[in-house]
């Protein structure tokens, strides 16, 4: 089963096919990309205070 390169989580073959890069590597899945967005949003808010 395919894995996310960002966090190692298993993803479905369809998810991997649709969202992987041209080189076939899935850089981030829904779990780790959502965490990254939330983390980055927190940083930008903290920096603007």
Task: Tell me the C-alpha distance between 36 and 1, whole Å.
Answer: 23
2: helix, strand or coil: coil
The structure's pTM equals: 0.63
Average confidence score pLDDT of the chain: 79
Please say if the pLDDT value at position 16 is more than 70: yes
| pLDDT score of 42 | 58
Which residue has 């899945």 as its token pair? Answer: 29
Backbone phi, psi, residue 12, to 5°: -75, 160
Task: Tell me the C-alpha distance between 38 and 22, whole Å.
Answer: 26
* Paired tokens of 31: 């779990």
Q: pLDDT-derived band of residue 12, with 50, 70 and 90 as boundaries?
A: very high
Please say if the pLDDT value at position 13 is more than 60: yes
């Amino acid at each position: 089963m395919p894995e996310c390169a960002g966090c190692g989580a298993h993803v479905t073959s369809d998810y991997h096919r649709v969202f992987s890069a041209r080189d076939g590597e899935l850089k981030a899945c829904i779990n780790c990309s959502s965490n990254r967005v939330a983390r980055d949003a927190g940083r930008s808010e903290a920096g603007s205070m």
